[in-house]
Amino acid sequence: MLAYVFWHWPYPTVEETVYERRIAEFHEALRTQRPRGFQYSVVLKAGRVPWVGRDGEVYEEWYVVENSAALDALNEAAVSGACKEPHNQVAQGAADGAGGLFRLRAGEAGLATARVGLWFAKPAGMSYEMLYRMLQSEIEGAAGGGSVWQRQMVLGPAPEFCWHSLQEHRLPEGFEYLDIPVKQIWVG
Protein backbone atom coordinates (compact mmCIF):
# COMPACT_ATOMS: atom_id res chain seq x y z
CA MET A 1 0.00 0.00 0.00
CA LEU A 2 1.29 3.45 -0.96
CA ALA A 3 0.37 7.00 -0.03
CA TYR A 4 0.99 10.17 -1.96
CA VAL A 5 1.40 12.95 0.61
CA PHE A 6 0.99 16.64 -0.23
CA TRP A 7 1.85 19.43 2.22
CA HIS A 8 0.48 22.89 1.38
CA TRP A 9 -0.82 26.13 2.86
CA PRO A 10 -3.01 29.01 1.73
CA TYR A 11 -2.05 32.53 0.81
CA PRO A 12 -2.39 34.87 3.81
CA THR A 13 -5.38 36.53 2.11
CA VAL A 14 -7.38 33.26 1.95
CA GLU A 15 -9.61 32.58 4.94
CA GLU A 16 -8.84 29.32 6.71
CA THR A 17 -12.49 28.18 6.80
CA VAL A 18 -12.89 28.85 3.06
CA TYR A 19 -9.67 26.98 2.26
CA GLU A 20 -10.68 24.00 4.40
CA ARG A 21 -14.16 23.90 2.83
CA ARG A 22 -12.60 23.88 -0.65
CA ILE A 23 -10.25 21.05 0.35
CA ALA A 24 -13.21 19.03 1.69
CA GLU A 25 -15.19 19.65 -1.53
CA PHE A 26 -12.26 18.39 -3.58
CA HIS A 27 -11.89 15.23 -1.48
CA GLU A 28 -15.64 14.58 -1.65
CA ALA A 29 -15.45 14.81 -5.45
CA LEU A 30 -12.42 12.49 -5.52
CA ARG A 31 -14.17 9.95 -3.30
CA THR A 32 -17.18 10.05 -5.63
CA GLN A 33 -15.02 9.75 -8.77
CA ARG A 34 -13.06 6.88 -7.15
CA PRO A 35 -10.12 6.43 -9.55
CA ARG A 36 -8.80 2.90 -10.13
CA GLY A 37 -6.66 1.74 -7.19
CA PHE A 38 -7.65 4.66 -4.92
CA GLN A 39 -8.47 3.52 -1.36
CA TYR A 40 -9.21 6.70 0.59
CA SER A 41 -7.82 10.10 1.54
CA VAL A 42 -7.24 11.97 4.77
CA VAL A 43 -6.56 15.66 5.30
CA LEU A 44 -4.68 16.67 8.43
CA LYS A 45 -3.70 20.08 9.71
CA ALA A 46 -0.16 19.70 11.01
CA GLY A 47 1.95 21.81 13.30
CA ARG A 48 5.18 23.22 11.89
CA VAL A 49 6.88 20.79 9.50
CA PRO A 50 10.41 22.12 8.97
CA TRP A 51 11.05 20.34 5.66
CA VAL A 52 8.64 22.58 3.70
CA GLY A 53 10.31 25.87 4.67
CA ARG A 54 7.28 27.35 6.43
CA ASP A 55 7.04 28.40 10.08
CA GLY A 56 3.27 28.01 10.45
CA GLU A 57 0.81 25.15 10.23
CA VAL A 58 0.34 23.26 6.98
CA TYR A 59 -2.26 20.96 5.49
CA GLU A 60 -1.10 17.39 5.01
CA GLU A 61 -3.13 15.37 2.51
CA TRP A 62 -2.67 11.58 2.41
CA TYR A 63 -3.95 9.76 -0.69
CA VAL A 64 -3.81 6.02 0.00
CA VAL A 65 -3.62 3.83 -3.11
CA GLU A 66 -3.18 0.10 -3.80
CA ASN A 67 0.08 0.38 -5.72
CA SER A 68 2.23 2.60 -7.93
CA ALA A 69 0.05 1.95 -11.00
CA ALA A 70 -2.82 3.65 -9.16
CA LEU A 71 -0.84 6.90 -9.00
CA ASP A 72 -1.45 7.58 -12.71
CA ALA A 73 -5.21 7.16 -12.29
CA LEU A 74 -5.18 9.36 -9.16
CA ASN A 75 -3.17 12.07 -10.92
CA GLU A 76 -5.57 12.14 -13.88
CA ALA A 77 -8.73 12.00 -11.77
CA ALA A 78 -7.59 14.83 -9.48
CA VAL A 79 -7.69 17.37 -12.31
CA SER A 80 -10.55 16.11 -14.50
CA GLY A 81 -14.24 15.34 -14.40
CA ALA A 82 -16.02 16.08 -11.14
CA CYS A 83 -12.69 16.92 -9.46
CA LYS A 84 -11.52 19.57 -11.92
CA GLU A 85 -13.29 22.63 -10.50
CA PRO A 86 -12.83 21.73 -6.79
CA HIS A 87 -9.14 21.06 -7.49
CA ASN A 88 -8.78 24.42 -9.25
CA GLN A 89 -10.43 26.22 -6.32
CA VAL A 90 -7.94 24.76 -3.84
CA ALA A 91 -4.99 25.33 -6.19
CA GLN A 92 -5.90 29.01 -6.64
CA GLY A 93 -5.74 29.55 -2.88
CA ALA A 94 -2.56 27.54 -2.27
CA ALA A 95 0.58 29.60 -1.70
CA ASP A 96 2.98 26.67 -2.10
CA GLY A 97 3.44 23.00 -1.36
CA ALA A 98 5.59 19.89 -1.52
CA GLY A 99 4.83 16.22 -2.02
CA GLY A 100 6.23 12.79 -1.23
CA LEU A 101 5.56 9.10 -1.74
CA PHE A 102 5.33 6.67 1.20
CA ARG A 103 4.83 2.90 1.65
CA LEU A 104 3.11 1.30 4.63
CA ARG A 105 5.77 -0.59 6.63
CA ALA A 106 4.11 -1.46 9.94
CA GLY A 107 0.69 -1.32 11.54
CA GLU A 108 -2.63 -0.72 9.82
CA ALA A 109 -3.20 1.82 7.06
CA GLY A 110 -6.02 3.62 8.92
CA LEU A 111 -4.98 7.26 9.20
CA ALA A 112 -8.44 8.41 10.31
CA THR A 113 -7.51 8.33 13.99
CA ALA A 114 -4.12 10.06 13.69
CA ARG A 115 -3.53 12.83 16.21
CA VAL A 116 0.26 12.95 16.04
CA GLY A 117 2.93 12.29 13.44
CA LEU A 118 6.29 11.06 14.71
CA TRP A 119 8.80 11.78 11.94
CA PHE A 120 12.21 10.10 12.10
CA ALA A 121 15.10 8.49 10.26
CA LYS A 122 16.65 5.07 10.72
CA PRO A 123 19.58 5.30 13.16
CA ALA A 124 22.99 4.76 11.59
CA GLY A 125 24.18 1.18 11.96
CA MET A 126 20.70 -0.30 12.37
CA SER A 127 19.53 -2.63 9.60
CA TYR A 128 16.14 -2.07 8.01
CA GLU A 129 15.09 -5.58 9.07
CA MET A 130 15.89 -4.76 12.71
CA LEU A 131 14.09 -1.42 12.41
CA TYR A 132 10.93 -3.00 10.95
CA ARG A 133 10.84 -5.65 13.71
CA MET A 134 11.33 -2.99 16.39
CA LEU A 135 8.62 -0.74 14.89
CA GLN A 136 6.11 -3.60 14.62
CA SER A 137 6.75 -4.47 18.25
CA GLU A 138 6.44 -0.80 19.31
CA ILE A 139 3.13 -0.41 17.44
CA GLU A 140 1.68 -3.64 18.83
CA GLY A 141 2.61 -2.57 22.37
CA ALA A 142 1.46 1.04 22.07
CA ALA A 143 -1.95 2.27 23.07
CA GLY A 144 -3.55 3.63 19.93
CA GLY A 145 -1.29 1.54 17.63
CA GLY A 146 -0.98 3.45 14.40
CA SER A 147 0.84 3.07 11.13
CA VAL A 148 4.45 3.56 10.07
CA TRP A 149 5.08 4.82 6.56
CA GLN A 150 8.45 4.92 4.79
CA ARG A 151 9.37 7.47 2.14
CA GLN A 152 10.00 5.80 -1.22
CA MET A 153 12.87 6.46 -3.63
CA VAL A 154 13.74 9.65 -1.70
CA LEU A 155 10.67 11.27 -3.30
CA GLY A 156 9.86 14.18 -1.05
CA PRO A 157 11.54 16.43 1.48
CA ALA A 158 10.28 14.77 4.69
CA PRO A 159 12.26 12.47 6.98
CA GLU A 160 12.30 8.82 5.90
CA PHE A 161 9.62 7.52 8.31
CA CYS A 162 6.36 8.70 9.84
CA TRP A 163 4.44 6.97 12.63
CA HIS A 164 0.89 8.31 12.70
CA SER A 165 -1.05 7.42 15.80
CA LEU A 166 -3.71 8.48 18.24
CA GLN A 167 -1.22 9.56 20.89
CA GLU A 168 2.42 10.56 21.30
CA HIS A 169 5.05 7.85 21.58
CA ARG A 170 8.71 7.73 22.38
CA LEU A 171 11.17 5.80 20.30
CA PRO A 172 14.07 3.94 21.92
CA GLU A 173 17.39 5.63 22.62
CA GLY A 174 19.37 6.41 19.49
CA PHE A 175 16.45 7.84 17.51
CA GLU A 176 16.09 11.50 16.68
CA TYR A 177 12.51 12.45 15.87
CA LEU A 178 9.95 15.21 15.61
CA ASP A 179 6.53 14.98 17.29
CA ILE A 180 4.12 16.97 15.14
CA PRO A 181 0.53 17.23 16.36
CA VAL A 182 -2.14 16.84 13.69
CA LYS A 183 -5.84 17.63 13.59
CA GLN A 184 -8.32 15.81 11.36
CA ILE A 185 -9.81 18.12 8.71
CA TRP A 186 -11.34 15.52 6.40
CA VAL A 187 -11.51 11.72 6.28
CA GLY A 188 -12.96 9.74 3.41
Average pLDDT over residues 124-153: 89
pLDDT tops 90 at residue 109: no
pTM score, two decimals?
A: 0.94
The predicted pLDDT at position 123 comes to 95
E strands within 20-167? Answer: 38-46, 58-65, 94-107, 116-120, 147-151, 161-165
Q: Which CATH architecture has domain 2-187?
A: 2-Layer Sandwich (3.30)
Domain ranges of the chain: 2-187
CB 123 within 8 A of CB 64: no
The predicted pLDDT at position 56 comes to 93
